[in-house]
Structure 1
Amino acid sequence: MPNSPNAKTNAPVVSVITPTRDREAMLPHAYRSFARQDLGSCEWIVVDDSERPSTFMQNLGDARVVYRHVPQRMSVGAKRNLAVALARAEVIAHFDDGEYYAPEYLRVMCAQLGERRADFVKLSAFFLYSRVYGQFAWWDLLHKSGLHFHWSPQPMTALNFPVDHRAFADNHSGYGFSYVYTKRLWAAGPFESGSSNEDGEFLQAALERGANLAHFADDIGLCLHVLHAHNATASFPQYLLPEALVARHFPRLAQFVEALGEAPFER
């Protein structure tokens, strides 16, 4: 009950939020990423505007999971806002429905949030996997010039960007799959509901209000960002990685890649 004296004590440490649509094939894997987290008390809030509710989510039977199916189409920003409004924790973490999150992901991200006294933490460099190319890579968003590989639904190309490449000036603030922040920060400026870049604009607006951002490079395998044939934005990793090397960082990688192979190319 909201007014119970134990409500605050029983509240989760982190509320994980996932906006989704037509991703039934990947929701079981998203749940496994959540369920394997080694950080104490967490909840998972899924807002789904698919035409029909998810059979998997409806039959899940996990008290830590809140599943909200909405009959009308909503933007990603609007679904994020609804999910955060439902959240009981003071810390919000994004779990996108097609990404791989290692068991220690939330623990490490929350430690960074606390140790650096930040309002917001995200990855400034991360591992990627392209379903189009069947290739792994690593992208450091803070290194904006030099050799980059252009990853999109089209054939891969190599590009050499000049120093102070303007197109990459603010790209380190985007890629919201690794966002972790306080609910207080969100309350001061929620996501824009109709934007095509709701993640980046949300963080930029927070920085303009004086929010303290902490970011760091993932060089241990906290998360794997997955690109598919219908990604809205391109990616530009600097390093292509062999699968054998990546597998050292992601012990459960084989199971995840197998699940991807069986899932359709969803948007």
Structure 2
Amino acid sequence: MPPNLSNSPIIRIDTPLVSVITPTWEREAMLPFAYRSFAHQDVSACEWIVIDDSATPSAFMASLRDPRVVYRHVAQRMSIGEKRNLAADLARADVIAHFDDDEFYAPDYLRTMLDQMKAAQADMVKLSAFFLYSRVYGKFAWWDTLRKSGLHFRWSRQPMTSLSFPAEHQAFADNHLGYGFSYVYTKRLWAAGPFEPSSFNEDCAFALAARAREANLLLLADDIGLCVHVLHAYNTSASFPQYILPDALVARHFPRLAEAMREMPAIVRPDAV
């Protein structure tokens, strides 16, 4: 279990550079781990907005004494898109970043994404290639979503299989715009086209609508271990990485990723945040 950071030094800010938003549902065990990802970011001028529609409010969130944290417990169940919209509406910063409650974000994640976004004068930046960890298989992998064809591995709650996709594989035509765990975008972009009130594919629909408005979307390949997209037994969707990474390689070259996965608590509720 990650350490409780509720006694971390208080950092007071007037206007944050970035608002981190997290929709959650029945993930009390994961919230300390998610908070640690936020609290360890080397961008201090940030806020964390958590929208929680669990049956009861979070005891952990109530224990925090960090003025950068905004926690809202809502009585009725909401879709992921609705929770993202509520959090984005509350955001005080001009830039919004997604932190899902079951992913790991390294301390330099926000700074790197913000720097790249600023350099490209982008309206939105996301990872098009990223690390994955399957808690079902106990393995790391890497997926370049811009490579649509060729050998891929199907990672889900089921046994792993290998697939070879043809060129111009239509099912993957826009999948590089989905996987919203790594979305960073301007609040102005969100205001022009909020998320659909859905819990499936609302992220890709958001990015597709932004592209249709000719927004400047920047895609980045993570080859340094900025974050890990974590798969578990309750995932309803599949991922299709091209590379399975040997444990020794991860331990040597990406030790913080391996350590984070060892410390991540068990997920005991279905994947429907």
- Does the C-alpha gap of structure 1 residues 248 and 211 become closer, same or farther in structure 2, counting only changes over 3 Å? farther
* Residue among 198, 205, 218 paired with 1:201: 205
Residue 9 of structure 2 is matched in structure 1 by: none
- Counterpart in 2 of 1:152? 156
TM-score (norm 2): 0.91
Indicate how the Cα distance of structure 1 residues 78 and 137 shifts in structure 2: closer, same or farther if over 3 A, else same.
Answer: same
* Superposed displacement of residue 53, structure 1: 0.7
Alignment of 1:13-92 (within 5 A): 13-92=17-96
Q: How far off is 1:10 after superposition?
A: 2.0
Secondary structure of the 2:148 match is coil
Q: In structure 2, which of residues 113, 117, 120 is the aligned counterpart of residue 113 of structure 1?
A: 117
Task: Name the CA shift for 1:59/1:99 in 2 (closer, same or farther; >3 Å).
Answer: same
| CA drift at 1:265 | 5.6
| Aligned residues of 2:27 and 2:267 also touching (Cα < 8 A) | no
Q: Secondary structure at the match of 1:149?
A: strand
TM-score, normalization by structure 1: 0.93
Residue number in structure 1 paired with 2:257: 253
Taking a change above 3 Å as real, the CA distance of residues 261 and 12 of structure 1, as seen in their structure-2 partners, is: closer
Q: Secondary structure at the match of 2:56?
A: coil
Gaps of 5+ in 2: 1-12
- Residue type matched to 1:21 in 2? W
How far does residue 248 in structure 1 lie from its aligned partner after superposition? 3.9
Counterpart residue number, 2:10: none
Cross-structure match for 2:4: none
Task: Give me the whole-angstrom Cα distance separating, in 2, the residues matched to 1:24 and 1:84.
Answer: 22
229-238 or 135-144, larger mean C-alpha shift? 229-238
Distance 1:60 1:248, change over 3 A: farther
| Structure 1 residue 40, shift from structure 2 partner | 3.1
Specify the code of the residue in structure 2 equivalent to 1:163: A
Question: Percent of counterpart pairs with the same letter?
Answer: 69
Partner residue of 1:176? 180
